[in-house]
Amino acid sequence: MDLKITSLVIAIFWPLAWSQLDSCASAVDCGRCTTIPDCVWCRETNFNGDRCMTRDQAKKAQSQCSSQFVVDPQVFIDYVKNVPLAEASKLDDPIQLKPQRVSVSNARNGQTYTIPVEFKQAKDYPIDLYFLMDLSNSMADDKASVEKLGSKLADTMRNITRFFSMGFGSFVDKNRFPYSWPEQKTYSFKNHMKIADNIALFTSEVQRAGIVNTYDEPEGGFEALVQAIVCTNEIGWREKARHIILLITDNYSHLLGGILTPNDGKCHLNGIDYGFGLLHDYPSLGQISRLVQELSMNIIFAVTADVAKAYQAFQPLVRGSSVGVMSKDSSNVVTLVEEQYKLITSSVELRDNANNGVKLRYFTNCLDKDSSVRETASCDKLKVGSLIKYNITIEIDQCPAGKSTHRQTVVVSPVGLTDSLVIDLEIECDECPCERADSVSCPHQCDELTYCLEPSRIPKELESDKIAQECSKFNMTKDDPSSPELFPMRRCEIFDNATDCRRDFVYGYTQNDEKVVLFNNTICTPGFKFELTSNIAFMMMGSLVAVGLALLLLWRLLLFIYDRKEYAKFINESQNAKWTADNNPLYVEASTNYNNPAFQQGRQK
């Protein structure tokens, strides 16, 4: 019984094991072969056997397929910028993510590459906090509390980092009925104070800002939020700092205002005032979410309990945001900011912008060194100094369509932080060009190569530097009896309409895998080409017109003859008719007469 089971297992799994051992042999062309890990392709013309083989098999077969004919593209990973992790200081910016830039060239379709990445929360990482406050009439007591709490908040935040700065802006709503009273002047957004390390100025600007009456309850908070996000220079966001916007309100925010022009998500500050409140509609939730992610913002919605549920529903759509419930007079702002900041910084999540056939996956065990590595981009329970080690795998599922997408820049960054890892990815989708010896047919490169022979003919709209770089890969020489043998050889004939010249040349590969272009003399026949083609064109047009007229006349003649024949036939039949004009042969006399008796009686009376 045991022998039967063993035999059955072998029968089932032996084909699978064999296919794994010899998976290279399943590839029937060079392109598919190079997508299989550890497989190479032999393009030797006279090679007999499976051209796709493992590297070990290729080494053993060097007598039949020398190394110069083995297609074995190797990926090159270069750590272009790999500055060590560092704390913040007055002279140097903090480094929380390493490496900072990596170049991956000659990456193969169907392959996976791994880059080790480290993230560490730096001590004294700079914080930019921007107060964005609702100054409608219901927020009068909240404004008074913020005036008193500026110094206390600064002291609290400086316990977290030495490099803390604050700014202040306010919003009400659009200055138009029904959003405001006709007699009350409102505004959509004002940037009262640029971000700075000046607590006295902050307190002064909050005190100077006035309360405004509005008509409807929802306010224009989201419109002001977009301006605070995108107006980088006007608000004063530092490049290396955690950017936090504290939006304080006791009401909902408008999402639709009835203005036909949508919000464009761009900065429109004129001095301290936002000038497009009556020109653009309110922004959408999707716009806010995208801008927060693109510009690495952290949003704290500090709202009252009666509207908190609405903002909590919105919060998951904006990565790096949180919701805190204020007391009625906003007296707990300091505690709220401290708690929400700790919540934001207690976790890290890496995000990327990979697309076009490229996918990034993240593997880490976070802070649990004893656990196994799992696939996740997020880690929590972080503190200052916590070190997270990731393995980021780059998977190339398919060759992107179009040569322009073969070079991609993928950016990896922690949510809400400006630190980033830039991956310059070059995908090699043409490991086995069709001009190689193992190819049978392919589209020609005649048009491209003619610019190599005559650089002066490169059109202005084309990039001459790139063309020159491609041309440098070819060895261009005069065609003569001593020229090397090319395989396969492509023959080109290029006509230049501007000069009426024709250039003949051939190109291909030598046995030593050298790209060669062999060119003959240029043949110029000024005027001949244009005159010849013009005469032929006029002759063809004249012939078509003449044939058309002849066919039209012939058709009219045949139609005339047919009509005369039919008319004569009609006249002849009319003359031979066998009935007279006063006797209808179809008429039959009545066979029965009927008299109305009532009619006769009426006459007798």
pLDDT tens track for 299-344: 999 999 989 999 999 888 888 789 999 887 778 889 999 998 988 8
DSSP string, 504-563: EEEEEE-TT--EEEEEEEEEE-TTHHHHHHHHHHHHHHHHHHHHHHHHHHHHHHHHHHHH
Q: Strands 501-509, 490-496: parallel, antiparallel or unpaired by DSSP? A: antiparallel
Same fold across 2-71 and 127-345: no
Q: What is the pTM of this model?
A: 0.65
| Sequence-separated (6 or more) residues with CB below 8 Å from residue 140 | 211
Task: Please report the sign of the dihedral spanned by the C-alpha atoms of residue 57, residue 62, residue 64, residue 68.
Answer: positive
Q: Are 145 and 333 in contact (CB under 8 A)?
A: yes
**Domain residues of the chain, as ranges?**
2-71, 76-122+348-428, 127-345, 446-524
Q: Are 260 and 278 in contact (CB under 8 A)?
A: no
Q: Quick one: pLDDT at residue 437?
A: 43
User: What are the two backbone dihedrals, phi and then psi, of residue 554, each rounded to the nearest 5 degrees?
Assistant: -65, -40
Tell me which residue of 539, 543, 506, 500 sits closest to 523, measured CA to CA: 500
Q: Quick one: pLDDT at residue 209?
A: 92
Q: How far apart are CA 465 and CA 528, in angstroms?
A: 34
Q: Strands 475-478, 421-428: parallel, antiparallel or unpaired by DSSP? A: unpaired
Tell me which residue of 67, 32, 25, 23 sits closest to 50, measured CA to CA: 25
Tell me which residue of 514, 453, 460 sits closest to 486, measured CA to CA: 514
Q: Are 128 and 233 in contact (CB under 8 A)?
A: no
At 448, list the tokens. 């491209």
Q: Quick one: pLDDT at residue 602?
A: 45
| Sequence-separated (6 or more) residues with CB below 8 Å from residue 111 | 35, 37, 75, 396
Across-strand partners of 508? 516
Tell me which residue of 290, 286, 316, 291 sits closest to 301, measured CA to CA: 316
Q: For the chain, how big is the Rg over CA atoms in Å? A: 42
Which class in CATH covers the domain with range 76-122+348-428?
Answer: mainly beta
Q: How far apart are CA 211 and CA 138, in angstroms?
A: 9
| Sequence-separated (6 or more) residues with CB below 8 Å from residue 221 | 132, 134, 171, 247, 249, 251, 253
| Sequence-separated (6 or more) residues with CB below 8 Å from residue 50 | 24, 25
Q: Quick one: pLDDT at residue 9?
A: 42
Q: Quick one: pLDDT at residue 14?
A: 43
Is it true that domain 127-345 has CATH number 3.30.70.1140?
no
Q: Are 436 and 507 in contact (CB under 8 A)?
A: no
Q: Quick one: pLDDT at residue 278?
A: 84
Q: pLDDT per residue over 371-394, tens digit each?
A: 899 999 999 999 989 999 999 999
- Burial of residue 265, with CB atoms counted within 10 A of its CB: 0-12 exposed, 13-18 middle, 19 or more buried: middle
Is it true that domain 2-71 has CATH number 3.10.105.10?
no
Taking 70 as the pLDDT cut, the residues of the chain under it are: 1-22, 91, 178-183, 215-216, 257, 402-404, 430-445, 447, 470, 473, 481-482, 486-490, 497-499, 509-515, 520-522, 525-537, 574-605
Q: Quick one: pLDDT at residue 583?
A: 56
